[in-house]
A = this chain, B = another copy of it.
Amino acid sequence: MSDRQQFREKTAELIQEALSNNRNEVAVDVFVELHPGDQVEVFSILSENERAGLISSLDISATADLFNHQEDSETLEAAEGLSIERLADVLDEMEPDEAADLLGDLPKEQASKALQEMEDTEDVLPLLNYPDETAGGRMTTAFIFMHRAATAEQAIENLREISPDNEAPYYIFVTDQNKELVGVVGLRELVVASKDTKIDSIMASEVIFVKADTDQEDVAQVMQQYDLSALPVVDEQHQLVGIITHDDILDVLTEEATEDIYRLANVGDSELEPESDIIEQLKGRLPWLYLNSLTALFASWVISNFESLIASIAVLAVFQSVVAGQGGNAGSQSVAIIVRSLALGKISPKRIWRILTRQLLVGLLQGISVGLVVGIGVFLWKGNAFLGLVLGLALVGNMIVAAIAGTAIPLGLKAIGQDPALASSVLVTAATDSLGFLIFLGLATYFMENLL
């Protein structure tokens, strides 16, 4: 790992030096020799100016190659600096799915001008109609298909004609006269078959496919569960319109995991990075902090009802946060387990009651375990058994609240068609904070005589 990273950083320095000496041709020579996977990383190390300098000296096909592999946001930034003519040439050379993604990301005017300038829009246009995060938005139209009556020899001949750096994987999809998907043949079966074997006699006719409007997360689940390296995509008429390849799915899984991690931590924009533009960071983070302020102030209002109690027994203020905080922690645990299990398709609607009761039991046992230890600890510290009792009981109560809220809220969000990762943290914390304070201070009121 570090070897490769060092190599990339060294190479980036070399390119930076060449660019700063206006020796762009040297920079280009070094850059084009790299594997696309390294190009992407080296390009990321360069500054915005250096990127523009390098791109201006790369030829069309090298630029297209870079854009094919580069992350969407960096491709967009580099593409916005190109002239319409050059942009159109690059788009013509790009893989159709990547070109469609870029066209979708570009400002409307630039995209439509570039489309007009492009020579070959046949592969790209159909892709523009699908939302980004669906099977249609992820698929490529560059796949290999043959009519079911073709022979093995014809199929191999067909392969010879297709450019070797085609993204299409080692499968040939088989269609009937209506272009409806009827089967799939692996290249290996094709190779070991005799020449005049008809394709439909060696194809697998039970093909797993998805519809173009399937959500990308579901697509990833299908490919993962069935161990597929390529998944055909069909339209409403069951006609084959594209394929999704294994490398697209790696990107989907990574994106979806980032989105969930960010949402669980109240970060609204899953493209944020540590060095992202400050305005972008504030846009993605601040609204959630404001929302949390509201719930925190609601919890403050709960406490304010006990102000005179606290004035006479100030030690309550010392421990009230332990109850709220531990409820919050236990709630986060439940939310993480439920959200992740939902994302991985591991929760069947039939089991929801069993899940709720089991989580409730875990919450009760956690409450007793933590409540006992913390209650006794505080009794030993402060010498007041009733303080320990109130704290311990409140911890039991709030852990139960945490278990119910931490389980029911994400499940409920999912049931009404919302992303369970999105607002679960805020809502669960609101519950464990407010009810935590209420339970603790309520119990303290009950035992007031013994606490004074």
Number of contact residues on A: which range applies?
A: 35 or more
Decide: A41 and B293 in contact? CB cutoff 8 A: no
Decide: B335 and A322 in contact? CB cutoff 8 A: no
Partner of A319, one of B222, B250, B300: B300
A36 to B229, CA, bound (A): 15
Residues of B within 8 A of A250 (CB): 220, 223-224, 246, 249-250, 253
Of A49-57, A85-93, A115-123, A360-368, the one with at least 4 CB within 8 A of chain B: A360-368
Q: Which residue of B lies closest to A355 (CB)?
A: B274
Q: How far is the CB of A293 from chain B (nearest CB, A)?
A: 5
Q: Which residue of B lies closest to A437 (CB)?
A: B321
Decide: A247 and B261 in contact? CB cutoff 8 A: no
Residues of B within 8 A of A159 (CB): 188, 191-192
Decide: A266 and B333 in contact? CB cutoff 8 A: yes
Taking CB atoms and an 8 Å cut-off, the chain A residues in 412-429 that contact chain B are 429
What would 26 A/B residue contacts be, using CB atoms closer than 8 Å? A1-B218, A36-B226, A37-B225, A37-B226, A187-B187, A187-B191, A224-B247, A257-B260, A257-B261, A261-B339, A274-B347, A278-B362, A282-B365, A282-B366, A286-B366, A289-B329, A289-B370, A290-B373, A292-B325, A293-B326, A293-B374, A297-B377, A303-B317, A304-B315, A307-B317, A314-B314
Q: What is A's interface to B at a CB cutoff of 8 Å?
A: 1, 4-5, 9, 35-38, 40-41, 44-45, 69, 156, 159-160, 164, 169-170, 186-192, 206, 208, 214-215, 218, 220-227, 229, 246-247, 249-251, 253-254, 257-258, 260-262, 264-267, 272-275, 278, 281-282, 285-286, 288-290, 292-293, 296-297, 299-300, 303-304, 307-308, 310-312, 314-322, 324-326, 329-330, 332-333, 335-341, 344-348, 350-351, 354-355, 358-359, 361-362, 365-366, 369-370, 373-374, 377-378, 407, 429, 433, 437
